[in-house]
Copies of this chain bind each other. A is one copy, B any other.
Amino acid sequence: MLKISELSEQTGLSAHTLRYYEKHGLINASNRSEAGYRFYNDSDLRRVQFVKTARNTGFSLADIGQLLSIRVDKRSHSCQDVTDITQKKLLEVNAKLTELQSMQQTLELLLESCCGGPENATHCSIMEALDAGLLREDNKEARLIK
Protein backbone atom coordinates (compact mmCIF):
# COMPACT_ATOMS: atom_id res chain seq x y z
CA MET A 1 0.00 0.00 0.00
CA LEU A 2 1.42 3.31 -1.13
CA LYS A 3 0.75 6.72 0.34
CA ILE A 4 0.18 9.48 -2.15
CA SER A 5 3.75 10.75 -1.89
CA GLU A 6 5.02 7.25 -2.59
CA LEU A 7 2.74 6.86 -5.57
CA SER A 8 3.97 10.24 -6.71
CA GLU A 9 7.56 8.99 -6.51
CA GLN A 10 6.73 5.78 -8.34
CA THR A 11 4.95 7.53 -11.17
CA GLY A 12 6.63 10.88 -11.42
CA LEU A 13 3.27 12.60 -11.13
CA SER A 14 2.85 15.13 -8.34
CA ALA A 15 0.48 14.43 -5.46
CA HIS A 16 -1.46 17.47 -6.65
CA THR A 17 -1.82 15.94 -10.07
CA LEU A 18 -2.88 12.60 -8.64
CA ARG A 19 -5.62 14.27 -6.59
CA TYR A 20 -6.59 16.24 -9.67
CA TYR A 21 -6.92 13.03 -11.68
CA GLU A 22 -9.03 11.56 -8.90
CA LYS A 23 -11.29 14.59 -8.84
CA HIS A 24 -11.80 14.07 -12.55
CA GLY A 25 -12.69 10.43 -12.14
CA LEU A 26 -9.62 8.92 -13.74
CA ILE A 27 -8.07 7.22 -10.75
CA ASN A 28 -8.86 6.30 -7.19
CA ALA A 29 -7.25 5.10 -3.99
CA SER A 30 -8.86 1.79 -3.20
CA ASN A 31 -8.24 2.30 0.51
CA ARG A 32 -8.17 5.09 3.00
CA SER A 33 -6.63 5.13 6.46
CA GLU A 34 -8.85 5.98 9.42
CA ALA A 35 -7.64 9.53 9.17
CA GLY A 36 -8.59 9.66 5.51
CA TYR A 37 -5.13 9.23 3.99
CA ARG A 38 -5.22 7.66 0.55
CA PHE A 39 -3.68 4.23 0.12
CA TYR A 40 -2.97 2.80 -3.30
CA ASN A 41 -2.53 -0.87 -4.14
CA ASP A 42 -0.84 -2.46 -7.14
CA SER A 43 -3.92 -2.29 -9.26
CA ASP A 44 -4.26 1.42 -8.50
CA LEU A 45 -0.63 1.89 -9.43
CA ARG A 46 -1.05 0.13 -12.74
CA ARG A 47 -4.07 2.26 -13.54
CA VAL A 48 -2.12 5.43 -12.81
CA GLN A 49 0.70 4.19 -15.01
CA PHE A 50 -1.80 3.52 -17.78
CA VAL A 51 -3.03 7.09 -17.46
CA LYS A 52 0.50 8.42 -17.55
CA THR A 53 1.39 6.40 -20.62
CA ALA A 54 -1.76 7.51 -22.40
CA ARG A 55 -1.03 11.11 -21.46
CA ASN A 56 2.49 10.83 -22.90
CA THR A 57 1.00 9.45 -26.07
CA GLY A 58 -1.01 12.64 -26.43
CA PHE A 59 -4.44 11.54 -25.30
CA SER A 60 -6.53 14.13 -23.47
CA LEU A 61 -7.92 13.36 -20.04
CA ALA A 62 -11.34 12.96 -21.67
CA ASP A 63 -9.94 10.39 -24.11
CA ILE A 64 -8.27 8.63 -21.23
CA GLY A 65 -11.56 8.49 -19.38
CA GLN A 66 -12.99 6.58 -22.32
CA LEU A 67 -9.98 4.32 -22.60
CA LEU A 68 -10.24 3.54 -18.89
CA SER A 69 -13.86 2.59 -19.10
CA ILE A 70 -12.93 0.17 -21.87
CA ARG A 71 -10.05 -1.07 -19.75
CA VAL A 72 -12.21 -2.03 -16.79
CA ASP A 73 -14.67 -3.92 -18.97
CA LYS A 74 -12.88 -5.11 -22.07
CA ARG A 75 -15.53 -7.72 -22.76
CA SER A 76 -18.16 -5.08 -23.42
CA HIS A 77 -16.02 -3.18 -25.88
CA SER A 78 -14.53 -3.93 -29.24
CA CYS A 79 -11.11 -3.29 -30.70
CA GLN A 80 -12.86 -0.84 -32.95
CA ASP A 81 -13.91 1.22 -29.94
CA VAL A 82 -10.24 1.50 -29.10
CA THR A 83 -9.03 2.25 -32.61
CA ASP A 84 -11.76 4.89 -33.02
CA ILE A 85 -10.33 6.86 -30.13
CA THR A 86 -6.78 6.32 -31.36
CA GLN A 87 -7.65 7.25 -34.92
CA LYS A 88 -9.39 10.41 -33.79
CA LYS A 89 -6.33 11.39 -31.82
CA LEU A 90 -4.06 10.67 -34.78
CA LEU A 91 -6.17 12.94 -36.97
CA GLU A 92 -5.85 15.73 -34.41
CA VAL A 93 -2.11 15.23 -34.22
CA ASN A 94 -1.79 15.22 -37.98
CA ALA A 95 -3.80 18.43 -38.27
CA LYS A 96 -1.58 20.12 -35.73
CA LEU A 97 1.50 18.82 -37.50
CA THR A 98 0.38 20.26 -40.81
CA GLU A 99 -0.20 23.62 -39.20
CA LEU A 100 3.18 23.63 -37.48
CA GLN A 101 5.00 22.48 -40.60
CA SER A 102 3.54 25.39 -42.49
CA MET A 103 4.72 27.74 -39.76
CA GLN A 104 8.12 26.13 -39.80
CA GLN A 105 8.44 26.60 -43.53
CA THR A 106 7.37 30.20 -43.32
CA LEU A 107 9.78 30.96 -40.50
CA GLU A 108 12.63 29.29 -42.35
CA LEU A 109 11.91 31.25 -45.49
CA LEU A 110 11.78 34.45 -43.46
CA LEU A 111 15.14 33.69 -41.87
CA GLU A 112 16.69 32.83 -45.22
CA SER A 113 15.48 36.10 -46.67
CA CYS A 114 17.04 38.28 -43.97
CA CYS A 115 20.69 39.07 -43.42
CA GLY A 116 20.23 39.02 -39.67
CA GLY A 117 23.08 41.46 -39.32
CA PRO A 118 23.67 44.60 -37.29
CA GLU A 119 22.44 46.99 -39.99
CA ASN A 120 19.25 48.79 -39.15
CA ALA A 121 15.92 47.26 -39.99
CA THR A 122 14.84 49.91 -42.47
CA HIS A 123 14.89 47.41 -45.32
CA CYS A 124 14.58 44.22 -43.31
CA SER A 125 13.03 41.62 -45.57
CA ILE A 126 11.26 39.90 -42.69
CA MET A 127 9.49 43.11 -41.78
CA GLU A 128 8.70 43.69 -45.42
CA ALA A 129 7.29 40.22 -45.83
CA LEU A 130 5.08 40.60 -42.77
CA ASP A 131 3.97 43.98 -44.03
CA ALA A 132 3.19 42.61 -47.46
CA GLY A 133 0.97 39.90 -46.07
CA LEU A 134 3.75 37.39 -46.36
CA LEU A 135 1.96 34.71 -48.27
CA ARG A 136 0.49 34.45 -51.66
CA GLU A 137 -2.10 31.83 -52.40
CA ASP A 138 -0.81 30.48 -55.72
CA ASN A 139 -1.64 26.96 -56.78
CA LYS A 140 -3.14 26.23 -53.42
CA GLU A 141 0.37 26.54 -52.02
CA ALA A 142 1.19 29.26 -49.60
CA ARG A 143 4.57 30.70 -50.36
CA LEU A 144 6.61 33.68 -49.42
CA ILE A 145 6.43 36.61 -51.74
CA LYS A 146 9.62 37.17 -53.76
Chain B residues within an 8 Å CB radius of A89: 107
Chain B residues within an 8 Å CB radius of A114: 79, 82-83, 86
Q: A76 and B130: CB pair below 8 A?
A: no
Q: B94 and A133: CB pair below 8 A?
A: no
CB distance from A44 to the nearest CB of B (A): 14
Q: Is A24 an interface residue (CB 8 A)?
A: no
Q: Is A33 an interface residue (CB 8 A)?
A: no
Q: Which of A111, A122, A124, A130 has the most CB of B within 10 A?
A: A130
Q: A101 and B107: CB pair below 8 A?
A: no
Q: Is A146 an interface residue (CB 8 A)?
A: no
Q: B107 and A90: CB pair below 8 A?
A: yes
Interface residues of A (CB under 8 A from B): 46, 49-50, 53-54, 56-58, 67, 70-71, 74-83, 86-87, 89-90, 93-94, 96-97, 100-101, 103-104, 106-108, 110-111, 114-122, 124, 126-127, 130-131, 133-135
